[in-house]
Chain A
């Protein structure tokens, strides 16, 4: 017999945005019963891997307008400016609240919070905890969340479907991984905070858990996804592992060098090289432009051959051991451990690597999706403040600002709603039957998860990488429909119930193929180049046609349909993106 348990607000995802949302719900209305459901223990969430820092105006020479302008120009005028204005205004208070909760921010000698420069930012406004900022923020949030008794945790539960009644979202069906038991969990409001989907690509900084689950849950329930074609490549990942070498390495003064030891970024309209880092210039340009410059260098034959593809070098040697150990200890640890080299003395081989999804579930500034009762925040969501290219150190802050905001909004909404009825159980029974038929009790099944996954990843890298074209994208669309078809013929080795990680991998793959299709369709329809979306067949930005968000919904046949929503412009009319001046 299936169980149903009910809560006022259910949060799916236990990373930075989810935990911040949970605390916001508890503080907005202490009478609400809150649940946090996650496929991993919350402190394992991918927020933990964020390194460089979190942006929020703090210095006396800085202003909210400058943070807004950097974010909007960094996003190639695709961010919604009302959302950005709200974001930059809330940012400092959210970061300060983290300080009050115990986050070990780096400090100035006088005890004040210290900030560092970051890519695409004209002022120093990135708060940091050495180069483990995400780790410290996540653990601070998790540990702080433990004091709220109103929060029930469903650790290691995997949500397979949103429960909906007459278009209103009222909970999820989830598998308790330990037992394999399928359960309905109902709620008056559901918040998705499941993170992004970097694992759709083969070479990514993203953890294994970043499989687009929340995007797919929302999409299948009828919520639109927005701006899915905008995939951020971070310019400095370690070859083979894809481990991130934080942008803070360049903010502290690191150089990008080609095979001749030349600071090649000066050839790409990013300014002239100076010995010290210059804000919004050279190595502190935005990520999309730096990753594109790598491809151009490769085409000129000026990169170095490595066993895992071509690389360039990140040079930190001139920073000296003291600065590297105090400001970038994790960079040194990762290089020593995984590349067997010491950045104090040696060059670090790096290449662009998939890092972040600017797109996600379409929400307003309250985190509300067009589906009643469904909210989203963090990387799974697209408000949008990131537009066509996110600036480094805006995403951790985004988790806090919009996690809190959608927690408050969901709390207010839940306070006005009646508890969902037990009739939702019927949907859970159907979902259990689907999972049994499709995976556990199915006879045969010839396809292996890893083969479909690897083919999908290869397809995405070849067709929807740093540069795209109609040909590459159309090929990918065909390949992905083939993979959708083959997915139905998957056969599992594991038909057990307790901790069936192969079943989870199959469900994750299902989500990823959905998300991959939405990326390809949005990329195909956007016949211009903007930020991280570069079309070789349409190399210019086209504000006449595409100063607009792509909005993709799932048709009755299960295929993606793309439409457009205008960008909200408040005070910064579209202009050229200028760096290095």
Chain B
């Protein structure tokens, strides 16, 4: 008999259960297996009703974020052997409503993403016939890191502010706002700032940077939020000094 590890997973069916419970399964402990492989083992061979999201299995689609032993992780990039001898506990991402087993409701994030206007805003668009907007490698580097966000939402699960204040736009949405603000092709910074200063959320964010610590793509949302605070403060001071056009 191959070596086994105990996999404890959250079970919840809105049709059947009032509260979630934990169910344990013994799964083979294989060196090359990630936590997601263990979940698929259960689904394929033991209990087909276990529900979770996954797709690319290479850490780029952002579907398979879950809490693994209390930490937000991409389960396709988290090896079982790191938790030997076990047990390894897999739960739905914290701070989101649970829809079923390990699946959480993320529409709140999608609404927030749309609100920060994550697209290029320009007063005057250049026609395609005039070619590309020039952007040097250094200019690209100023925002590249923030463009690496895969929307896996581990940062929301780690964020103490989002946990307490669901109106907070949150780390990924702010990092993506900053991704466009820093892009040399964009002119929408003040529009995005207006939206974000309507809520106090960003001021509640501390320097602790839990979001940056858990980010599997090294996006550094905490850095983006600090940049944002600085810009917002500068804009606020400028609006005091130049009330008639400081934001143009």
Q: What is the interface of chain A, defined by CB distance below 8 A to chain B?
A: 40-41, 43-46, 48-49, 93, 96-97, 99-102, 104-113, 132, 135-136, 139, 143-144, 146-147, 155, 178, 207-209, 240-241, 243-244, 330, 333-334, 337-338, 448-450, 492-494, 496-502, 505
Residue pair B126, A49 in contact (C-beta under 8 Å): no
B55: which A residues are within 8 A, CB to CB? Answer: 40, 44, 46, 207-209
Q: Which of B49, B63, B144 contacts A502 (CB 8 A)?
A: B49
A155: which B residues are within 8 A, CB to CB? Answer: 107, 110
| CB of B185 to closest CB in A, whole Å | 6
Residue pair A143, B118 in contact (C-beta under 8 Å): yes
A44: which B residues are within 8 A, CB to CB? Answer: 53, 55-56, 61-63
Residue pair B100, A48 in contact (C-beta under 8 Å): no
| CB of B187 to closest CB in A, whole Å | 12
Residue pair A499, B60 in contact (C-beta under 8 Å): no
> Cβ of B183 < 8 Å from any Cβ of A?
yes
Residue pair A49, B132 in contact (C-beta under 8 Å): no
Residue of A nearest to B118 (CB): A143
B100: which A residues are within 8 A, CB to CB? Answer: 498-499
* A–B Cβ pairs within 8 angstroms, 28 of them: A40-B63, A43-B150, A43-B151, A44-B55, A44-B56, A48-B150, A93-B128, A97-B128, A100-B125, A102-B119, A109-B136, A111-B136, A112-B132, A113-B132, A132-B148, A136-B147, A143-B119, A146-B119, A208-B54, A241-B58, A243-B58, A337-B77, A449-B44, A493-B49, A496-B16, A496-B49, A498-B14, A499-B99
Residue of A nearest to B186 (CB): A102
Residue pair A46, B132 in contact (C-beta under 8 Å): no
Between A96, A132, A143, A338, the greatest number of chain B beta carbons within 10 A of the residue's beta carbon is seen for A143
| CB of B192 to closest CB in A, whole Å | 13
Residue pair A46, B56 in contact (C-beta under 8 Å): yes
Residue pair B15, A147 in contact (C-beta under 8 Å): no
> Cβ of B230 < 8 Å from any Cβ of A?
no
> Cβ of B176 < 8 Å from any Cβ of A?
yes
Residue pair B61, A207 in contact (C-beta under 8 Å): yes
B13: which A residues are within 8 A, CB to CB? Answer: 496, 498
Residue pair A448, B51 in contact (C-beta under 8 Å): no
Complex CA–CA separation, A280 to B125 (angstroms): 38
| CB of A134 to closest CB in B, whole Å | 8
Q: Which of A135, A147, A243, A448 contacts B119 (CB 8 A)?
A: A147
Complex CA–CA separation, A498 to B132 (angstroms): 47
Q: Which of A49, A107, A502 contacts B137 (CB 8 A)?
A: A107
Between B48, B62, B151, B183, the greatest number of chain A beta carbons within 10 A of the residue's beta carbon is seen for B48
Complex CA–CA separation, A207 to B53 (angstroms): 12
Residue pair A498, B183 in contact (C-beta under 8 Å): no
User: Which B21-62 residues sit within 8 Å CB-CB of chain A?
Assistant: 32, 43-45, 47-49, 51-62
Residue pair B103, A493 in contact (C-beta under 8 Å): no
> Cβ of B242 < 8 Å from any Cβ of A?
no
Given contacts A100-B120, A143-B113, 17 further A-B contacts (CB under 8 A): A40-B63, A41-B106, A43-B61, A44-B55, A48-B61, A48-B150, A104-B147, A112-B134, A144-B120, A146-B118, A146-B119, A147-B119, A333-B59, A337-B59, A450-B43, A500-B51, A502-B49
Complex CA–CA separation, A151 to B53 (angstroms): 25
Residue pair B176, A143 in contact (C-beta under 8 Å): yes
> Cβ of B131 < 8 Å from any Cβ of A?
yes
| CB of B105 to closest CB in A, whole Å | 8
Interface size on B, residues (CB 8 A): 63
B32: which A residues are within 8 A, CB to CB? Answer: 240-241
B106: which A residues are within 8 A, CB to CB? Answer: 41
A48: which B residues are within 8 A, CB to CB? Answer: 56, 60-62, 150
User: Which B143-160 residues sit within 8 Å CB-CB of chain A?
Assistant: 143-144, 147-151
Residue pair A110, B45 in contact (C-beta under 8 Å): no
Residue pair B103, A499 in contact (C-beta under 8 Å): yes
Complex CA–CA separation, A490 to B221 (angstroms): 46
User: Contacts A102-B180, A493-B47, A498-B100 given: A96-B131 contact, CB under 8 Å?
Assistant: yes
User: Contacts A96-B132, A111-B134, A132-B60 given: A101-B103 contact, CB under 8 Å?
Assistant: no
Complex CA–CA separation, A249 to B54 (angstroms): 27
B133: which A residues are within 8 A, CB to CB? Answer: 99-100
B131: which A residues are within 8 A, CB to CB? Answer: 96
Complex CA–CA separation, A391 to B100 (angstroms): 42
User: Which B61-112 residues sit within 8 Å CB-CB of chain A?
Assistant: 61-63, 77, 99-101, 103, 105-107, 110
Interface of B is mostly: loop
> Cβ of B229 < 8 Å from any Cβ of A?
no
Complex CA–CA separation, A49 to B63 (angstroms): 13
Between A101, A110, A135, the greatest number of chain B beta carbons within 10 A of the residue's beta carbon is seen for A135
User: Contacts A100-B120, A102-B120, A107-B136 given: A49-B114 contact, CB under 8 Å?
Assistant: no
B227: which A residues are within 8 A, CB to CB? Answer: none
Per CB-CB distance, the 4 closest pairs between chain A and chain B, nearest first, are A111-B134, A494-B49, A450-B44, A493-B48
A101: which B residues are within 8 A, CB to CB? Answer: 119-120
| CB of B134 to closest CB in A, whole Å | 3
Complex CA–CA separation, A65 to B87 (angstroms): 61
| CB of A498 to closest CB in B, whole Å | 5
| CB of A351 to closest CB in B, whole Å | 15
Complex CA–CA separation, A443 to B16 (angstroms): 20
Complex CA–CA separation, A108 to B140 (angstroms): 11
Q: Which of A43, A492, A501 contacts B62 (CB 8 A)?
A: A43
Residue of A nearest to B137 (CB): A107
Residue of B nearest to A130 (CB): B144
A41: which B residues are within 8 A, CB to CB? Answer: 106, 110, 151
Q: Which of B53, B59, B113, B185 contacts A146 (CB 8 A)?
A: B113
Residue pair B140, A104 in contact (C-beta under 8 Å): yes
Residue of B nearest to A239 (CB): B32
B185: which A residues are within 8 A, CB to CB? Answer: 100, 102
| CB of B239 to closest CB in A, whole Å | 26
| CB of A94 to closest CB in B, whole Å | 10
Residue of A nearest to B78 (CB): A337
A449: which B residues are within 8 A, CB to CB? Answer: 44, 48
| CB of A250 to closest CB in B, whole Å | 19
| CB of B37 to closest CB in A, whole Å | 9
| CB of B65 to closest CB in A, whole Å | 11
Q: Which of B15, B43, B54 contacts A498 (CB 8 A)?
A: B15
User: Which B166-182 residues sit within 8 Å CB-CB of chain A?
Assistant: 176, 180
Complex CA–CA separation, A208 to B37 (angstroms): 12
Residue pair A139, B56 in contact (C-beta under 8 Å): no
| CB of A486 to closest CB in B, whole Å | 16
Residue of B nearest to A113 (CB): B132
> Cβ of B197 < 8 Å from any Cβ of A?
no
A209: which B residues are within 8 A, CB to CB? Answer: 55
Complex CA–CA separation, A120 to B57 (angstroms): 28
| CB of A495 to closest CB in B, whole Å | 8
Complex CA–CA separation, A206 to B12 (angstroms): 30
| CB of A249 to closest CB in B, whole Å | 15
Q: Which of B58, B63, B113, B135 contacts A107 (CB 8 A)?
A: B135
A99: which B residues are within 8 A, CB to CB? Answer: 132-133
| CB of A105 to closest CB in B, whole Å | 8
Residue of B nearest to A180 (CB): B15
Complex CA–CA separation, A41 to B107 (angstroms): 10
B61: which A residues are within 8 A, CB to CB? Answer: 40, 43-46, 48-49, 207
